[in-house]
Amino acid sequence: MKLFVGLGNPGSKYAQNRHNIGFMAMDQIAADHGFAPFKGKFQGALTEGRLGREKVLLLKPETFMNLSGQSVGEAMRFYKLTSQDVVVFHDELDLAPGKLKYKMSGGHAGHNGLRSIHQHIGETYGRVRMGIGHPGRKELVSGYVLKDFGKADQDWLDDMLRGISDGAAHLAEGDTTKFSNAVAMRLNPPRPSTGTKGPKANNAPAPAKAAASKPKAATNTAPEEDSRSPLQKLMDKFS
């Protein structure tokens, strides 16, 4: 069994915030893969279903971001999971919008949700880092992550969420390469060739030149039969 955790803040006020991209990923997976409706449990919203051959729990902590670890820790202990069974989906300032990377273990890089999870289950868990870009200055970060995605973000955001859903079964089964490839296929689909081919070479042999006219062979005509009498022939000879 795996526990997928999407980070965000509860309530409609925050639903479209950049900070809530983890919640969005859980909603996309649940909708696409026929999970049961989310229900309140472990200080969060929980649902369960199957991804490929794996049973998977989807959790959206509702403790607000900086206390997310409380909810994750409760769910992990109840189902007797280890931290290595947990994958956390979260916004990532250090990746450009539309970029995604999977990482196992490591620091929290100042992310309040990850910091709280570290405190409750340690750092040995998987993370799906979903790039939202950086506002440029540290003092702008709080306002930036708590603002809604803009219209210009909708295309890549939709592609990223659909790609995560496409590859969710691979991630549940531990194949992070296939998971990343599935996301990449949505974000950077192969482009059809736009080059136009030139006209096909005409390999047919050039039409043969008209054969030179040949003189017609002379027609052999049989000599006319001489019908003169011998006497007439003699007279004609001396005339």
- In 3D, which of 27, 10, 30 has the Cα closest to residue 19? 10
Q: Whole-angstrom Cα distance, residue 178 to residue 175?
A: 6
Query: 178-184 — which CB contacts under 8 Å span 24+ positions?
Result: 179/102, 180/100, 180/101, 180/102, 183/100
Q: Which of 19, 90, 111, 170 is catalytic?
A: 19
64 exposure class (CB count in 10 Å sphere: 0-12, 13-18, 19+):
middle
Look up tokens 């409760």; give the residue.
74
Nearest to 22 by CA among 86, 79, 77, 106: 86
CA angle 85, 89, 91 (to 5 degrees): 150
Tell me the C-alpha to C-alpha distance, in Å, between residue 108 and each of 112, 117, 127, 168.
8, 9, 10, 23
**Is 19 tagged catalytic?**
yes
Q: Which positions are catalytic?
A: 19
